[in-house]
Amino acid sequence: MSIFDSFPDIEDAESASRFLHECLAQVDSKASRYSIEVCLASFSVEPRILETLRTAHGVRDWEQIKGLCVYFRRNAWRLNFRLAEFNKDISRIKVADIANGKLKRSIYVPEEEEEEQEGRGSTEEMTSFIRNLQIPLGTRKDIPLVILHKLGRFQDDPLLRERLDGIFSPGHHTFLVNTSGSGKTKLLFEGLCQRWGFYFTFARDGSYLGPNDLAHIATNIRLNLKLTWTQYLPPSSDPLYASLLQANLQMVHNAFGGALLARLFVFKLFLEACSKEDFCQDHRQRWLEAQLLPRNLSNLGDPFNMLQLDVRNAQLDGSVIDEAIAQTLEEIQEIWDMPSGEFLYIALDEANVPSREYLHAFSDEHGEYPLLKAVIRSWQQRLGHLPVRFVVAGTVIPQEYFPSASGEWDEWRWSSDTDSFDNPESQRRYVSQFLPPGFEASEDGQVLMRRMWSWLRGRHRYTASYLALLLANRFESSLYLLKGFMKRITKYDPFEPVEYGGEDAERRINWVSELSSQGLERGPISRIEMHRAVIIYLTTSKGCLDCETKDRALITEDYGYFMDTQCRRIALDEPLMVIYGAGWLQNPEHSAATTMFKTFDSEYPTPPRSSHFALFLALSFASTFDGFSNISDAFQIYGGRLSSALAAKLVLFSKKAEVRPEPTDVHLSEHSPKRLVFEAGGAEDMLSWFKHERDEPFCLLQSSPGSSATLAFCLEFQDGQCFWVFVHVPEDFTGEDSPSFAEDIRHGSPASLFDEQPEIISLLAELPNLSPDVGPLGVLRVSGSFRVDKASEDSIPSEDQPAALLNITSLEEAGKRISQDMLMRRLARIFSDDTGDPPLRHRQLRQLESSSPSRKSGRKRSAAGSTSTIRVSTRLKSKSQTANSASGSGSPGSPESKKRRRNDASSSAHTRKPDTGAVATGHASPGVPPSEPPENASRYNLRKRTRLPRP
């Protein structure tokens, strides 16, 4: 007797459920898992099952029933009343138009003010041009999503394609780590345009790009009273340790498994729509766009988040979620025949958030670890049988949690290959695609491009954020926008007054807020390295390319960035960051200040570098001896006939042709000297300086980076006699142990410094009007030790005299009198002049890497600058100057200007909106979150703002 004869009538639901149960038993060996009650419930959850069953029964179509049984088996996990909302939300998802490319996306067009609607030719022309750029529009109607402009075009550029291939590699998983705004998210987007994969983010910004399915999971786990979450595990010796750890892992497994299931299920629906036509490359980008703008899939909101919440609210057992994922993956593989060698890529953005969350809730044989590691392990376990690769991106992902030597993480690679705008041409190419025809070649366009390079170079977000303002303002008042943009971010205005841009420009500038000082206030590494970066720029006109890498603090706190591809070299040389840091360092009340010696009197995780102190001394000496000052204002003289009461001034000897070198007074100002210190990188450099062929009044001699350093310069007495000063700064110049002043004096002697360059010793004796009273060869040797308070009368033996120590007390007082406003203007001038050779930073980096200095050589870097004859004294002149410094203004002058419109062109949380800098670029890395954040919402300076644009 056939099964149809056993069940002649299935019109009522109960008979039909028994019939389905029997059919399952004959088709599926594991049918015992499905009770008659489950079969009956499935008819209510999905009425199509009962309809299909009755139709097949009526015509005795066993093949159709077998197909229905397969469908039932794969979907049994969701055919229960607990997932009624899940099934309801699935029915609301529409993927066909997106999959076949028929969805009409919203395009950005600048908002029009009422007075503009009357029509001006130029305004209409600019609006038309911007519309034709086809920049996508997200939730914010007033801000263009610059990050999505020409999405998918990286593949057309060989260099960018190579970068993507290294990050999205079939041979390994990738941790992509670099500072906020460096382009990590853009790389994830571009990589997923060419590859099938999922984009997840642990924290969304105000552009609302990407689903909001992960951002709140961690907090919900902890706050869910129905879950037994252990925030702090007991010691491993505790009897409850194993069970509590397992409970935590299971909760993470279930919660994040729900999000993975939701994404897989929608992916299956998308593939089903694609399969109705032939699969094509464009389907991959369309799937990415469906994830970035999930509201296009459903008019009720973010379907990915809704589905994962449905799974969470259903309170399913972990085994049910595992079964659901396994069945969904099976269906995906049947729809999509993945080519051999191809992988599914899982991109996890903002991984810095879970990398610092719940550090004491998980543990293994290597110690405690954060939530991120638990999530990766959970998803690898569920996807392990598939060809899957992870790309995990964030500003900080502590490498110690993922030890490569353990075997588990051998297939993971660390990359910081994000690149930056490090030469004018790369920035110009990027900017030009947004500019109207003719604008770039115009006078205003040329000025704008130069200033953008001068101030916005470095990480991509600076340029993209400004472009968003420029687009929103229809390219009007471009220089005024740039001036306001910079002032809002850095609290400093380096430009001369420009024509008033109008209320619209002001409103858009107000979208942006300043950078964060939190890292400078709380982070000793960022504080001392920012001070070093400012000093290096002020004295050498070069960037700081060899910053401290300990704890990657500069990356975590957003001041520096990885300049290499393997997370090894950190730079702090971006003008916006450095000028902001310099502004913060102006305050003498801070623990570090630009011209204050107390900066070096603090404890740091790693000692300050001797070259840093030597360059700082150069700035101090340049101010002290800017005109005649007593030698005692800088030095404590030991022995000899040199009187500390004598006055001297800083001079630079210049030699042209065969003429005898002549001294020139050195006056430190915003314009001169163009460069204060020459860093001698080898024998030729030293010879050049001592032959008076250089324009810098100071020369820094250093055998190798991180070693002791010697600062050389010339002073002239009032009677015209001159002498050399060699200040030797030992490697441990701030050491608390009793300093060896005599050893410093011996190391600073010409015989020690130039034992391999005897020609330099002869050059020392050739200095015109050389004073015989300061020591052999007219060299006053000075110990550059910071701990002069430990000195005594016999600190320098008589055989090493005459010599000197630093008079730090007097120099500290002199530092207070240096015009901070002048230093800020000097810094601004240096940045503005650095527009010459395009590969400036690359040349500096190559010189750092290729130089193999001898014992007497040091780092060699290129410099940039420009000439000027204007002189502003280093002394503080007046109260008005003080006020100008406090206000951060670098452009004195009347604030009144002609107020005419100028045409230069010729949720995180749902209640919060960030600035244009985050929204326009589509991403904003939050900093290290507090231990218990209320929600993984966006927190940032330029990157994340809570300011609402005024209506």
pLDDT in tens, 772-805: 888 889 999 999 999 888 878 788 888 888 999 9
**Apex 849 CA angle, 845 and 851, nearest 5:** 115
> Within a 10 A sphere around the Cβ of 226, how many other Cβ atoms?
5
Contacts of 281 (CB under 8 A, 6+ apart): 194
- pLDDT tens readout for residues 58-94: 999 999 999 999 999 888 898 888 898 999 999 999 9
DSSP class of 227? S
pLDDT, position 834: 62
pTM for the model: 0.85
Nearest to 700 by CA among 748, 745, 738, 658: 748
> Within a 10 A sphere around the Cβ of 502, how many other Cβ atoms?
17
Torsion angles phi and psi, residue 92, rounded to 5: -90, -10
- Identity of the residue numbered 656: K
C-alpha torsion 578→540→809→817, nearest 10 = -70
- Residue listed under structure tokens 């002149």: 877
Half-sphere exposure of 560 (CA within 13 A, CB side): 37
Pairwise CA distance, residues 861 & 845, whole Å: 8
- Identity of the residue numbered 306: M
pLDDT, position 745: 92
Q: Classify strands 629-630 and 722-729 as parallel, antiparallel or unpaired.
A: unpaired
Beta bridge partners of 175: 392, 414
3-state secondary structure of 586: coil
pLDDT, position 114: 54
pLDDT, position 699: 98
Yes or no: say if 103 and 299 are a contact pair by the CB < 8 Å rule: no
Q: Classify strands 709-717 and 698-702 as parallel, antiparallel or unpaired.
A: antiparallel
- pLDDT tens readout for residues 200-255: 999 987 778 999 999 999 888 888 867 789 999 999 999 999 999 999 999 999 99
Yes or no: say if 37 and 18 are a contact pair by the CB < 8 Å rule: no
- Identity of the residue numbered 523: G
Cis-peptide, bond into residue 802, ω within 30° of zero = yes
pLDDT, position 657: 60
Contacts of 469 (CB under 8 A, 6+ apart): 481, 485, 508, 509, 511, 512, 916
Pairwise CA distance, residues 438 & 442, whole Å: 6
3-state secondary structure of 307: helix
State the DSSP string of 280-294. -THHHHHHHHHHHSG
Domain boundaries, the chain: 3-79, 146-415, 611-816
Pairwise CA distance, residues 804 & 462, whole Å: 47
Pairwise CA distance, residues 633 & 648, whole Å: 10
DSSP class of 356? G
Contacts of 589 (CB under 8 A, 6+ apart): none
DSSP class of 875? B
Pairwise CA distance, residues 935 & 930, whole Å: 10
Pairwise CA distance, residues 589 & 592, whole Å: 8
Nearest to 185 by CA among 517, 410, 418, 358: 418
Burial 634-673 (b: 16+ CB within 10 A, else e): bbbbbeeebeeebbbbbbbbeeeeeeebebeebbbbbbbb
| Full strand arrangement of the beta sheet holding 197-201 | 197-201, 344-349, 388-394, 173-177, 412-415
Pairwise CA distance, residues 670 & 659, whole Å: 30
Yes or no: say if 320 and 168 are a contact pair by the CB < 8 Å rule: no
pLDDT, position 951: 33
Beta bridge partners of 665: 651
How remote is the C-alpha of 643 from its chain's centroid? 53
Beta bridge partners of 176: 393, 415
Nearest to 943 by CA among 181, 149, 140: 181
* Rama region for 30: left / alpha / beta (φ>0; ψ in -120 to 50; rest): alpha
Nearest to 725 by CA among 610, 617, 639, 641: 617
Contacts of 869 (CB under 8 A, 6+ apart): 671, 672
Pairwise CA distance, residues 167 & 188, whole Å: 9
pLDDT, position 441: 87
Pairwise CA distance, residues 718 & 721, whole Å: 7
Yes or no: say if 559 and 572 are a contact pair by the CB < 8 Å rule: yes
How remote is the C-alpha of 823 from its chain's centroid? 27
Yes or no: say if 458 and 561 are a contact pair by the CB < 8 Å rule: yes
Nearest to 927 by CA among 547, 460, 580, 558: 558
DSSP class of 879? H
3-state secondary structure of 808: helix
* 10-residue mean pLDDT series, the chain (951 residues): 87 93 86 84 89 94 93 88 91 93 91 58 83 91 92 94 97 96 96 97 87 92 82 96 96 96 97 92 96 91 95 92 93 88 95 96 96 98 91 96 89 95 92 91 92 95 94 92 94 88 82 88 94 97 92 91 95 96 94 93 90 97 96 92 89 81 94 94 92 96 88 97 96 82 91 90 93 89 90 82 93 93 96 58 49 36 32 35 37 38 35 48 38 34 33 33
Pairwise CA distance, residues 188 & 346, whole Å: 10
Nearest to 799 by CA among 745, 721, 843, 880: 745
C-alpha torsion 755→759→763→765, nearest 10 = 60
Pairwise CA distance, residues 549 & 568, whole Å: 7
C-alpha separations of 177 from 185, 339, 407, 559 in Å:
11, 30, 21, 14
pLDDT, position 858: 35
3-state secondary structure of 179: coil
Yes or no: say if 195 and 909 are a contact pair by the CB < 8 Å rule: no
Element (H, E) at 711: strand 709-717
Element (H, E) at 5: helix 3-6
Contacts of 644 (CB under 8 A, 6+ apart): 630, 631, 632, 635, 636, 637
Yes or no: say if 181 and 943 are a contact pair by the CB < 8 Å rule: yes
